[in-house]
Structure 1
């Protein structure tokens, strides 16, 4: 066997393991179950950290205020030092929501009198000031919002660019209370969940979004198989920071937001923390929770990935080298070796390369279908993986230049200086 044949066969073996031994990461069936409309609903506070979000807030905040939740609920938007009028805009949107509901529910001749059957969720807009040393801005804002929430049973931590369907909050709480999920294998846990997270559906309106976004979610699920994460006792734990419901008691039990105060990758750290504290977690894909933030240009998507990629590798050079080699072996070797095999007319190179690429395409197809993209785009995954490889290397370079983990005017140092969990695996 030649060296080229050996490389091709190793790549195929890697794909055989990923396809059949990596927790069925490529299945997209994990969704929230149907709600039980008759069950009581505990109290909830929705905490929204927001920094310079005036562009997207009109598309997201009204969806939270309009939640149809049959229980006590409120929204707390924490303005994290915005300079674009985010806080003032949030207040105006809250007033407009209240006025709309009042107009729809008032009786004729009694304008402005709210009815008893409907109502906008109450909104509080607050600001904690600049974060102290050792805190990321988002987590400082979340801590402030959690404290302001008071003695509620659940906290929905959701980003300012996430729009929710009217029954989103009710569905999340119902899943947490019952411990049931929407998987085909019925893997829900009796006794309920302490953390329920949905990966919001990202925008795929532009060509670059269509190329990058489905692969982003696919890679995340590959490294953090949802079924493994949802299994009690398993080491794997993951959450999607854009939409995470957590029991207040479970969060307090593990030290609250302060326990991950310096974490750039806050969502995975939170899930790991809750799970280590004996809590049950669940993560799945969303059907009616959507990101409204557009990424029309490659540069914007590049910055989204590269700002945290090296932090996901624990700022470790050896992990960086291993990740680059792994991406090359798994995603770049099959198409490159297939071309080489066809040129050299070598069946021992062509067969494993073609089989590896076929497994790559088959496992990527469900995610493309979830995003409404054609099957032909499975053939572009090696190119997209090459872009992710370059983004990861760029993330390390930016860190070495002192510009790593930069986001909206803030740059955060390595985690050992700010208390991020040192055991966080690469994502």
Structure 2
């Protein structure tokens, strides 16, 4: 490697390492699979704010679950204005396993909306039992309203929680992307950890820095959840899912992530505006500080953007091609890991524009930091105060 090609060679090494990590993860971490029923009592908790359009589909999926005879579902209408409660009641159709709650008022001072809603749901679940005590083998499942589940998903997730002997399991839903802006950015959610966190190590470690979690679908041992204070431990967090996993690891409790495969899917956003608002509310926290964000995004830009350009125009063309190919490969492997299926031709095209995806992520992160500094971040009509 000549000196002129040094930075491009470094980029090739980083990209190749990412592809290798993704390949190891895909080879060693099986997705959720259907299996026998689970004996554990399972309480599903669904926070819902203005989800009248999506919540009925999740309720239909939950009503169709198999292998969870101890299932009950608590839904919290978090001060919605779109008829979420009425839509939920219609979808429930009198099923006695389901309860809809609509408490008065928004989150308490110092709380962000979602952790406040999750904490309220957990309290309601405990209060529903005689003596306000948890059942010792109870499992809590936190689900976002836009998640879709196959009929064996809950049983498979609870079974994997127990088989892995972890206290918090994140069955990562396959992220659906339809519009061009979704296809540009949504695959980076899985790719960001699949190409950087070797799961054979990360899923066994107690280091908070190696935790991976997604609040769309979280499965937790109820007793352990209570022991760390539940969502009260992350009351002010805009990334409460990851911070909850980190809090558990600091308490010497194990957490893990596994692919949801074909049993869990989610389409988070349907427009660029929603995507900017949704990711912008938390990206300012993603790398620890503005300096950390600058360092990580600087390396990512060189690796996944500058190196492919060098493959065409600059010195170190060979190493630029290696970096570009490894980046595309890591993206495709991550997609296979996430979905449990081979990438489609469209996803192959998306992988080829991975440099543009990284640039878009960098721009979103800068935008999130700027809006956080200005105190203008808003999510679902609620301002997110500067932290």
Q: Same fold (TM over 0.5)?
A: yes
Contact 2:58 2:145 in 1 (8 A): yes
Question: Residue 279 of structure 1 aligns to a residue in which SS?
Answer: coil
- The answer to whether structure 1 residue 307 and structure 2 residue 278 are counterparts is no
Q: CA deviation at 1:334?
A: 1.4
Map 1:13-412 onto structure 2 (within 5 A): 13-20=13-20, 24-25=24-25, 29-37=29-37, 41-95=39-93, 98=94, 120=95, 122-128=97-103, 129-150=105-126, 151-152=134-135, 153-179=138-164, 192-235=165-208, 236-286=210-260, 287-295=262-270, 297-314=271-288, 316-341=289-314, 346=315, 349-369=316-336, 370=339, 372-374=343-345, 375-404=348-377, 406-412=378-384
Structure 2 Cα separation of the partners of residues 410 and 133 of structure 1: 13
Structure 2 Cα separation of the partners of residues 270 and 250 of structure 1: 12
Structure 1 Cα separation of the partners of residues 96 and 194 of structure 2: 33
Distance 1:226 1:401, change over 3 A: same
Structure 1 Cα separation of the partners of residues 319 and 124 of structure 2: 58
Q: CA deviation at 1:278?
A: 2.4
Question: Residue 283 of structure 1 aligns to a residue in which SS?
Answer: strand
Structure 1 Cα separation of the partners of residues 68 and 319 of structure 2: 56
Question: Residue 367 of structure 1 aligns to a residue in which SS?
Answer: helix
Distance 1:34 1:58, change over 3 A: closer
Contact 2:21 2:194 in 1 (8 A): no
Q: CA deviation at 1:26?
A: 6.3
The structure with the largest alpha-carbon Rg is 1
TM-score (normalizing by structure 2): 0.88
Structure 1 Cα separation of the partners of residues 272 and 295 of structure 2: 25
Q: CA deviation at 1:77?
A: 0.4
The answer for the alignment partner of 2:131 in structure 1 is none
The answer for the alignment partner of 1:111 in structure 2 is none
Structure 1 Cα separation of the partners of residues 354 and 56 of structure 2: 34
Structure 2 Cα separation of the partners of residues 274 and 252 of structure 1: 11
Contact 2:194 2:334 in 1 (8 A): no
Contact 2:8 2:303 in 1 (8 A): no
Question: Residue 148 of structure 1 aligns to a residue in which SS?
Answer: helix
Distance 1:29 1:130, change over 3 A: same
Answer 1 or 2: which has greater helix percent. 2
Contact 2:72 2:97 in 1 (8 A): yes
Greater relative contact order: 1 or 2 (C-alpha under 8 angstroms, separation 6 or more)? 2
5+ residue gaps, structure 2, are 127-133
5+ residue gaps, structure 1, are 99-119, 180-191, 416-427
Distance 1:307 1:26, change over 3 A: farther
Measured on the aligned residues, the alpha-carbon RMSD in Å equals 2.3
Distance 1:27 1:298, change over 3 A: farther
Deviations 1:254-313 (A, max 9, x none): 122111111111111111122222222221121211225551x33332333222111223
Paired residues in the alignment total 369
Structure 2 Cα separation of the partners of residues 302 and 10 of structure 1: 31
Stretch deviating more after TM superposition (26-35 or 139-148)? 26-35
